[in-house]
Every structure is written in structure tokens, then in C-alpha cells.
């Protein structure tokens, strides 16, 4: 490589002196990623890695995708101003595409700069529409870092304050393998979660605005409820006039292989009233948004602007990224290559007692280990051997695997080999 040895240590020291203590960094010796291509990235010390995390799922298609780079370059050569006070043809076209893809009837789309802002807007819409600040969220959920988003986060290590503008009640069901209903069959599990939800809503006498949930919990460790849960919830919510917000920040755009949106795993009856997205759509650019029926979107009766939401440069890049995704059927690639990777990792795990479960859909695969220190050891060892993976789960015990959706079979095998070695090493240490 052409990087300089030692630059990471120096940058880490300066980072820690000036940025907040609570701003999480990966790895004991953090790295700066300086460039990327395809499914690979390089760090400031010149080392190359196969990227199985895409900067927490922000690289949707590929690193340095020429069409995206060209769209950004072309727009940057014209103007960089940003204001929702003026028309922007990229934003209109992107919103049209997303409205159609969303499956929401009479859809309106509002573009934001992040997932947090998208969820914040969804909560603003739902609470205003229903004139209530009571919301339901799933245990162990993560929805962002704003005041309203941390107020609904069901994972204490990502919720720095117990103060909240919202009254939040937590619902069972986001995690199939933990909690009071863990021993039940899928059908019984859904029935009990629905009963629990009915009970919660009966107590509230119709005063709840919305349920917000991630179809597959991201930060929570890529856990899935049984298929059909959110459709069963939706039937109850409709009866109580409660809106259903699907947070598709991690599960959207075909990542889960079989479906374009995560909620679709639950069947057509599980369609959300409001859908939020971010991360992958911008392929690294700051882009998010909210989709809702016009009746809900237009319930705000004051003016609003977003200076940077849907700016010309981010929408130009996002549009090129989305076109590439659809033209190349990267959802199909996620299904095929993700399926191979999942079975390969399940085979690796079969012989290892340190692995609790290998689960996932498409290119969203979680490897749950016996504890968080094992997961740290595996992520560090994988990095040493040239592979970046993420971590998640309540105890930080889950490896999160979410490569760019253009991953090839050869790259899937290369990454699986590195994980195989790292997991065996961890197993030896754990059983010593």
C-alpha cells in the first residue's frame, strides 16, 4: 500500500481530544477509510479490506460506482446551492420513483438528510395526525439520535436520556428468540404478541398515535420476528386507529433479497401507513426520507422547509444509484449471493459452540455469538485478515454482515473464508 504506518494512532489521539466521548468508533485501533472501489476499501495506512458492512449499510450498490460519481461531478460543476424553496428536477424525479416503489397509495415523499430526521418527521406526522404524543416502539429497537428518536429507542446503550417529548410503550415481538414468548412456535408467538398489543391498546383507550418498528432490527443485531407478525399487528392497529410506521433505513432497497422493503416479508396486509428510509439510497451521500399517504403527509398546516433535504447534489447521486440498483437487479443478486453466504456461514457455525445462531435474509446476515467479547475478538481478527464486518445486538454479541448489494460469489466465499478462520480462532480461545 502507499499509506503511512502510524497515521491511525495519531488521528485517533486527535479525534479523542476534540470529538465527543460518546461518539462510538469501531476497533481497538480505529481506522480511517480513504478510498474504495466495488466491494473493497483502503485505509490511510494503505491496507485493503473486503467490505462486509458498507459503512453501516450506506454503500448500497458499490463503492465508487461510476454513474454515481459522474452524476455528482456533473451537478457539482453546475451549482451546489440547496433549498427546498426552489424546484429541483432530480428531487421531483427521485420522489416520483420512490412514491411508486413504496407501494403506498396516493404517496407523498419528503426528502431529509438522515434516517434520524426521517423518523423524526414520521413521528411529527403521526402525532399531529392523531393528536397524541403516545407511541409504541419495539423492545431493543433503534431509530436514531434526535431527542424524539432516542425517546423511542428500546436499547439503553443508545438512549442517553430518559427524558422524551413522547410517551413510549414497548411492544414484544421484534426478537423471536428472546423474552417471555421465546419457546413458542411462530404461530403461537404471533398470537401472544398480538394479545399483548391488544391489551396495551385497550389500556390506552384509543390514545396512541403510532407503532414504529424496524422489520429486521439493525443495531439490535439483525433479528427477525416470524413472517406475518406486522400484518397481524396492522389489523389490530387499524381497529384502534393507530398508524404503522415501517423504519426501512436498513431493510429497504432490496437488501433482504426476497423483498424490496422489509415489511413485505409479512405479506400485502402488512403495508405501512408511513415508511422511512435513509442510508443506502445515497450510497454514502446524506439522504433519507419519509413516504406517507397524502392525507397523513399533508396534516401539517404550517410551512416547513429543509435547507439541505433533497439537495441537487444528493438527489442527483441517489437517482443514479437507484437506477443502477434497478437496472442490474441487485435485489436478485442479494437473494442469490446472500443465500449462498448464509448457508456457507451456517455450515461453518455448525461445528462451533461459540456461535448461537446464523440468521438473515439476502445480504443482511447476523452471526450471534455467545457473548460480546467473542464478537469483538472475531471483528478484530477479521479486520487483521482484510475483512470489515459490523457488530450489534444488545450485548454487542452479533456480527452484522451487510455488504454492498453487488457482492460477487467469489467475494462472498473470500469473506466467508476469513470469517471461518476468525471464528475458529475465537472458538479455541473460548474453550481453552
Among residues 61, 114, 148, 333, the one that binds ligand PMP under rule CB under 6 A: 114
Q: How far is the CB of 5 from ligand PMP (least distance, A)?
A: 32
Between 47 and 66, how does the x/- string for binding to ligand PMP read (CB under 6 A)?
---------x----------
Tell me the helix, strand and coil percentages in the chain, rounded to 5. 45, 20, 40
Could you tell me which of 239, 295, 225 has the C-alpha nearest to residue 267?
A: 225
Round to whole Å and give the CA distance between 282 and 81: 18
Among residues 8, 63, 143, 259, the one that binds ligand PMP under rule CB under 6 A: 143
Round to whole Å and give the CA distance between 331 and 361: 11
**Are the C-beta atoms of 32 and 7 separated by less than 8 Å?**
yes
DSSP character at residue 122: H
Q: How far is the CB of 24 from ligand PMP (least distance, A)?
A: 11
For residue 13, the SS3 value is: helix
Under rule CB under 6 A, residue 283 binds ligand PMP:
no
Spacing of C-alpha 137 from chain mean position = 16
Bridge partners, residue 360, by sequence: 365
Spacing of C-alpha 320 from chain mean position = 21
Q: Near ligand PMP by CB under 6 A, which window of 26-34, 141-149, 174-182, 306-314? A: 141-149
Under rule CB under 6 A, residue 316 binds ligand PMP:
no
Q: Near ligand PMP by CB under 6 A, which window of 114-122, 189-197, 312-320, 400-408? A: 114-122
Please state whether beta strands 40-43 and 33-37 pair in parallel, antiparallel, or not at all (unpaired).
Answer: antiparallel
Give the three cell numbers for residue 100. 411508486
Output phi, psi for 34, to 5 deg: -105, -30
Among residues 142, 222, 233, 261, the one that binds ligand PMP under rule CB under 6 A: 142
Round to whole Å and give the CA distance between 288 and 159: 21
Could you say which residues in the range 151-190 bind ligand PMP, by CB under 6 A? Answer: none
Q: Near ligand PMP by CB under 6 A, which window of 47-55, 113-121, 195-203, 310-318? A: 113-121
Question: Could you give the C-alpha distances from 373 to 162, 389, 398, 430, in angstroms and in order?
Answer: 28, 15, 10, 10
Q: Near ligand PMP by CB under 6 A, which window of 2-10, 40-48, 139-147, 413-421? A: 139-147
Q: Which is nearer to ligand PMP, 129 or 158 (CB)?
A: 158
Under rule CB under 6 A, residue 359 binds ligand PMP:
no
**Are the C-beta atoms of 126 and 205 separated by less than 8 Å?**
no
Longest CA–CA separation in the chain, Å: 65
Measured on CA atoms in the order 98, 101, 107, 113, is the torsion positive or negative? negative
Q: How far is the CB of 87 from ligand PMP (least distance, A)?
A: 26
Burial label, 67 (beta-carbon count in 10 A; 0-12, 13-18, 19+): middle
Q: Near ligand PMP by CB under 6 A, which window of 38-46, 179-187, 213-221, 309-317? A: 213-221
Under rule CB under 6 A, residue 115 binds ligand PMP:
yes
**Are the C-beta atoms of 367 and 345 separated by less than 8 Å?**
yes
Residues near ligand PMP (CB under 6 A), total:
16
Q: Which is nearer to ligand PMP, 278 or 297 (CB)?
A: 278
Q: Near ligand PMP by CB under 6 A, which window of 28-36, 84-92, 112-120, 176-184? A: 112-120
Q: Which is nearer to ligand PMP, 257 or 282 (CB)?
A: 282
Q: How far is the CB of 383 from ligand PMP (least distance, A)?
A: 20
Q: Which is nearer to ligand PMP, 23 or 431 (CB)?
A: 23
Among residues 249, 365, 389, 426, the one that binds ligand PMP under rule CB under 6 A: 249
Could you say which residues in the range 217-246 bind ligand PMP, by CB under 6 A? Answer: 218-219
For ligand PMP, the binding residues (CB under 6 A) are: 56, 114-116, 119, 142-144, 214, 218-219, 247, 249-250, 278, 288
Amino acid at each position: 500500500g502507499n499509506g503511512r504506518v502510524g497515521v491511525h494512532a495519531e488521528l485517533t489521539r486527535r479525534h479523542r481530544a476534540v470529538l465527543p466521548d460518546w461518539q462510538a468508533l469501531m476497533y481497538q485501533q480505529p481506522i480511517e477509510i480513504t478510498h474504495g472501489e466495488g466491494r473493497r476499501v483502503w485505509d490511510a495506512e494503505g491496507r485493503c479490506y473486503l467490505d462486509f458492512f458498507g459503512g453501516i449499510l450506506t454503500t448500497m450498490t458499490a463503492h465508487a460506482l461510476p454513474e454515481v460519481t459522474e452524476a455528482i461531478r456533473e451537478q457539482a460543476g453546475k451549482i451546489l446551492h440547496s433549498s427546498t424553496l426552489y424546484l429541483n428536477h432530480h428531487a421531483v424525479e427521485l420522489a416520483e420513483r420512490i412514491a411508486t416503489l413504496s407501494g403506498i397509495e396516493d404517496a407523498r415523499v419528503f426528502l431529509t438528510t438522515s434516517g434520524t430526521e426521517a423518523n423524526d418527521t414520521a413521528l411529527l406526522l403521526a402525532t399531529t395526525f392523531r393528536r397524541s404524543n403516545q407511541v409504541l416502539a419495539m423492545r431493543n429497537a433503534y431509530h436514531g439520535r434526535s431527542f424524539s428518536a432516542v425517546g423511542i429507542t428500546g436499547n439503553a446503550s443508545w438512549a442517553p436520556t430518559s427524558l422524551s417529548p413522547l410517551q413510549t410503550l414497548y411492544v414484544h415481538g421484534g426478537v423471536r428468540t428472546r423474552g417471555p414468548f421465546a419457546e413458542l412456535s411462530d404461530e403461537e408467538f404471533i398470537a401472544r404478541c398480538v394479545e399483548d398489543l391488544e391489551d396495551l391498546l385497550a389500556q390506552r383507550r384509543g390514545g396512541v398515535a403510532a407503532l414504529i418498528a424496524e422489520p429486521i432490527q439493525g443495531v439490535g443485531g439483525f433479528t427477525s420476528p416470524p413472517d406475518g407478525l406486522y400484518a397481524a399487528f396492522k389489523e389490530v392497529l387499524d381497529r384502534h386507529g393507530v398508524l404503522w410506521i415501517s423504519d426501512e433505513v436498513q431493510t429497504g432497497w432490496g437488501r433482504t433479497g426476497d423483498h424490496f422493503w422489509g415489511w413485505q416479508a409479512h405479506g400485502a396486509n402488512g403495508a405501512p401507513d408511513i415508511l422511512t428510509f435513509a442510508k443506502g439510497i445515497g450510497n454514502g451521500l446524506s439522504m433519507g426520507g419519509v413516504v406517507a399517504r397524502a392525507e397523513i403527509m399533508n396534516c401539517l398546516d404550517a410551512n416547513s422547509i429543509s435547507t439541505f433535504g433533497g439537495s441537487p447534489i444528493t438527489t442527483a447521486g441517489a437517482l443514479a444509484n437507484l437506477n443502477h440498483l434497478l437496472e442490474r437487479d441487485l435485489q436478485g443478486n442479494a437473494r442469490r449471493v446472500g443465500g449462498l453466504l448464509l448457508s456457507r456461514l451456517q455450515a461453518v457455525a455448525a461445528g462451533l459452540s461459540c456461535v448461537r445462531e446464523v440468521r438473515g435474509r439476502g445480504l443482511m446476515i447476523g452471526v450471534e455469538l455467545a457473548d460480546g467479547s467473542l464478537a469483538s475478538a472475531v471483528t478484530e481478527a477479521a479486520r487483521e485478515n482484510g475483512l470489515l464486518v459490523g457488530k450489534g445486538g444488545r450485548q454487542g454479541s452479533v456480527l452484522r454482515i451487510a455488504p454492498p448489494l453487488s457482492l460477487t460469489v467469489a467475494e462472498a466465499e473470500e469473506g466467508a473464508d476469513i470469517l471461518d478462520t476468525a471464528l475458529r480462532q475465537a472458538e479455541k480461545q473460548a474453550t481453552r
